[in-house]
A and B are shown apart, each in its own frame.
Chain A
Amino acid sequence: MALATVRSLTYGYPGASPALRDCSLDVEPGEVIGLFGSSGSGKSTLLRALAGLIPHFHGGRFSGRVEIAGLDTRRARPAELAGTVATLFQDPEDQVVFTRVEAEVAFGLENIGTWPAEIAPRALEALEAVGAGRLLDRPVAELSGGELQRVCLSSVLALRPRLLLLDEPTSQLDPDGAALAIELARSSGAAVVVSEQRPERVLEACDRVLFLEDGRLREGPLPDAWLPREAELPEAEPAGEVVCRLEHVAFDYPDRPVVGDAGFELGRGEIVALVGPNGSGKTTLAKLAAGLLEPRAGRVVRSGRACYLSQDPGRYLVAERADEEVALAVGGDLRRARRELERLGLGGHADRHPRDLSSGERERLALAAVLVAEPDLLVLDEPTRGIDPVRKDELVALLRAEAPRRATLVVTNDHVFAAAVADRIVSTIPERERVLA
C-alpha cells in the first residue's frame, strides 16, 4: 500500500492561477523520487501539499485529494503529520527557530513528543550522521550556509520520518556534503521525495524521476537540458591585464581565523571560479577581492571599479521600482538602467516593485544592478543557487559574452557550472592550490 497518494490535485495560491494541475502520484515506502522542473513549475508547491501545508497554511483553491499514511491532509493539520512527514525547506536561514544548534535539532523531537531522555542523544546522533557533531554547541548565527543546511537536514533526519520531503537540500552544500546528504536520506529507510536543480547530485540515488512543467506532473525521462553533464574543471594559467591581485592576504572574524596567507590573480577577459568546501573562506576571499573587507595581513591590489553580487541577491533589493534599483549603481541614470533591464530580458518590468517579481526575475534584476555599472571586476557569490539548468545555461552564455570586458570571479560549489563558465579554477583546498584557507 502506498505511503502517500495524490489524486487529481489542482491547487492555486490565493489570487493566483493554478500552480498544480491535475497531479496524481503514489509514493511507496522506502522509494526515492527525484522531482525536477524549472523554477516556478510547482515543485515546492507539490512538496507543501505532501506536508499538509497546503491548504492549511497557505489557503487558496484546492481540489483533489492527498493522503499521507491514511490521513487526508484536508482534515489532518501539518503539525499532526509531523514525525510521519518531515520537510527540509529551500532556504535554511528561514527555518531556524532557536539560536543554538542543539536546541534547534531538539525542537522537532520535542514537538512530536519524543521521550525526554531520548531527545539529546537523538539530536547528537543526527548531527554526527551529517558530519556536524562538532557544531552541537555553536550559535546558529555563526554557521556558514553549508553548515546551516547540514544542521537543518539533521533536524529532519532526527525525527526518523516515514516520508522525507527535501526541497533543494544541496543548494548550499559542497559536492561531498551533497553526496553525503543524499546518501543519508536514502539510507534513512524513509520514502524520499527530493526536488533539485542539479540533477547530477541526486539522479543516481533515485528510483523514479518526475518532471513538473507548468504545474503538470509527468514521469521521466528528463529533458535534454536536465541530463547530468560531465564536470571537468579547467586548469589554465592566469591571462590578460591583471585587474585584481591578492598577495598573502589573511582575514579573521572576531572569534576565528578564516583566511590565512591566500593569494591569486584575476586578469581582464577571464572568468575564474573559486571553489572549495563549505566554511573554507570562499565568500570572505570574494569580499576581499571586491574591497568589501580589508585584510588583516597582506594586500589587495585592484584597478578600476569592482562590483559584488552576494548570495541570494533577490533578498537585498532596496528600491520601489526595478529601474530605480538598477539605476542606483549609475547615479540614478534611469535611461541606462532601462537599457540594462532590456538587455537582461526584464524590459517589461521596469516599473514593477522588485518584490513582486518571481525569484528568477529578482535574480536577473540583481545581476542587472551590478552589470549596469560596467565594472572592471565582477564578483558573483554562488550565482546558481536555486537556478534550474536552463537558466544556468543562459547565465553561462551571458557571463561568457560579457567576459572580455572585465575580470570575473565566480564563487561556486556547482562544479558543472564552474566547468561550463570558467577559464580556470582557484581552490581553497591547499592541494589544488594558490589559495590557502
Chain B
Amino acid sequence: MKPAPAAALLGGLAAAALLAHRTVSVAAIAALLLLICLRAPARRRRLYLVGALGSGLAVVLLTPFVETIGSHPLWTGPTVPVLGQLDITREELHNGLFQGLRLTAVALAFAAYALLLDHDRLVQAAGFARRSVLAVALATRLVPTLERDAAGLVESLRGRGVEVTGVRGRARLLAPLLAGSLERALNLAEAMEARGYGRPGATRALRPPWSALDRIALTAAGVVVVIGVLWL
C-alpha cells in the first residue's frame, strides 16, 4: 500500500477514536493500532510505545482527581487547596479510562505514521500543500534525529568514562540537544534554499499509479470516520 492512503487510513482511525462514544470501541481501535505499531522493529518502536501508552495511562490516573462528576463515590479523600475535596467516583474512573484510550489511540496512530510510512513518498505524493506536508515530514524526523543526537551525547560522555544515569543525568542532555537542533535546523534551511526550495515552477518525479488496494484504503478511511460518528 502507498503511504498516502495508509496515512489517510491511520488518520481515519484516529478520527474515529476521537468521535466514537463507547469505551469498548475506542479500546478496539487502540488495540488495532497497537498491533499495527508492533510491525515496526522493536528498537525503533520502544520510544513511541512508551510515549503513547504512558501518556494514556497518565490521563487514566489523573482524570478522577481533577474531575468532579458522577454520583457513585468509591473513595473520598482529604480537601486539597485549589483542587478542593479529592474523591473518586465510578463515572470519573470510566471517563478517565475513555479519555486515556482516546489519547492512546491518537498517539498510536501517530506512532504508526512515524514508524511505518515512507515520508519521502508521502511528500512526493502530496498533490497540494506540499510545503506543509514537507514541514510535517521534517518535524516527524525530529524524533529519530533527537534520538541519534542523544545517543551521540551519551556516547561522548561514556567515551570520557562518564555514565549517564537517572533523571538528572538525562536532564543534563536537554540543553545541548535543543541547541544542536537549532543549529541543525538553520543549516538545513540554508541547504534547502541553496537547492532551490521555494522557487516557482517546481516539478515532481513521476509516481507509480495507485493500485486497487490504495483506493480501497482511501475509501475505508472515510468509511471508518462515518462509522465512528454513527455507530461506535
- Is B55's CB within 8 Å of the partner chain A? no
Verify A106–B205 contact, CB threshold 8 A.
yes
- In the complex, besides A89-B194, A287-B155, 8 extra interface pairs with C-beta distance below 8 angstroms are A57-B189, A79-B197, A79-B199, A100-B120, A113-B202, A120-B205, A309-B159, A328-B162
Residues of A in contact with B, size category: 35 or more
Whole-angstrom CA separation of A310 from B156 in the bound complex: 7
Contacting pair A141 B204 (CB below 8 A): no
Number of A-B contacts (CB under 8 A): 154
With a cutoff of 8 Å between Cβ atoms, the chain A residues found around residue B153 in the complex are: 316, 318
- Interface check A83, CB cutoff 8 A: yes
A63 at the interface (CB under 8 A from B): no
Min Cβ gap A152→B in Å is: 9
Given contacts A97-B138, A111-B199, A112-B199, contact A310 B194 (CB under 8 A): no
Instruction: List 14 contacting pairs A-B, 8 Å CB cutoff, sorted by A.
Output: A77-B193, A79-B196, A79-B199, A82-B199, A110-B205, A112-B199, A113-B202, A120-B206, A141-B148, A159-B195, A308-B155, A310-B159, A315-B152, A328-B162
* Count of B interface residues, CB-CB < 8 Å: 50
Say whether, besides A141-B148, A292-B155, A318 and B172 are in contact (CB < 8 Å): yes
Segment touching A, from B17-25, B91-99, B173-181, B216-224:
B173-181
> Which 6 A-B pairs give the minimum distances between C-beta atoms?
A82-B196, A111-B196, A308-B159, A316-B156, A95-B191, A103-B120
Give Cα A87–Cα B190 distance, bound, in whole angstroms: 10
Question: Given that A53-B190, A79-B193, A111-B199 are contacting pairs, would A313 and B156 also be in contact in the complex, using a CB cutoff of 8 Å?
Answer: yes
Assuming the contacts A95-B191, A108-B196, A373-B161, asked whether A254 and B155 have C-beta atoms less than 8 A apart, the reply is no
Minimum C-beta distance from B55 to chain A (A): 25
Interface residues of A (CB under 8 A from B): 51, 53, 56-57, 77-80, 82-83, 85-87, 89, 91, 94-100, 102-104, 106-117, 119-120, 123, 141, 155, 159, 254, 287, 290, 292, 305, 307-310, 313, 315-318, 320, 328-329, 355, 369-370, 373, 379
Question: If the complex has contacts A82-B196, A107-B195, A112-B199, are A373 and B160 also in contact, measured as CB distance less than 8 A?
Answer: yes
Task: Assess the A119–B41 pair: CB atoms within 8 A.
Answer: no
> Given A141-B148, A316-B156, A328-B160, do A113 and B195 touch, yes or no (CB 8 Å)?
no
- The docked-state distance in angstroms from the alpha carbon of A277 to that of B191 is 27
* B contact residues vs A (CB 8 Å cutoff): 41, 43, 118-121, 123-124, 134, 138, 141, 144, 148, 152-153, 155-162, 172-173, 175-176, 179-180, 183-184, 187-199, 201-206
- Chain A residues near B179: list those with CB within 8 A: 355
B205 nearest in chain A by CB position: A119
Given A57-B190, A110-B204, the answer on whether A103 and B124 have CB atoms closer than 8 Å is yes
User: When the two chains form their complex, are residues B204 and A116 in contact, meaning their CB atoms are under 8 A apart?
Assistant: yes
Q: Known contacts A112-B196, A119-B206, A318-B173: does B118 contact A328 (CB below 8 Å)?
A: no
B-chain residues with CB within 8 Å of residue A114 when the two chains form the complex: 203
> Would A254 and B191 count as touching, CB distance under 8 A?
no
In the complex, the answer to whether A119 meets B190 with C-beta atoms within 8 Å is no
Residue of B nearest to A114 (CB): B203
Chain A residues near B203 (CB-CB < 8 A): 110, 113-116, 119
Indicate whether A82 sits within 8 Å of B195 (C-beta atoms), given known contacts A94-B187, A99-B120, A254-B43: yes
Which chain A positions have C-beta within 8 A of B194?
51, 53, 78, 82, 85-87, 89
Most-contacted residue by chain B among A79, A141, A370 (CB, 10 A) = A79
Q: Which residue of B lies closest to A83 (CB)?
A: B196
Chain A residues whose CB sits within 8 angstroms of the CB of B175 once the complex forms? 318, 320
Tell me the bound Cα distance from A96 to B161 in angstroms: 32
**Nearest residue in B to A119 (C-beta to C-beta)?**
B205
Q: A254-B41, A310-B159 are in contact. Are A111 and B195 (CB under 8 A)?
A: yes
Distance from A404 Cβ to chain B, minimum over Cβ atoms (Å): 21
A317 surroundings in chain B (CB, below 8 A): 156, 176
* Residues of A with C-beta under 8 A to B124: 103
- Residues of chain A within 8 A (CB-CB) of B204 are 110, 116, 119
What is the CA–CA distance of A292 and B76 in the complex, to the nearest angstrom? 53
Q: Looking at the assembled complex, report how far the CB atom of B145 sits from the nearest CB atom of chain A, in whole angstroms.
A: 9
Which residues of B have CB within 8 Å of A51?
A: 194
A290 to B160, CA, bound (A): 10
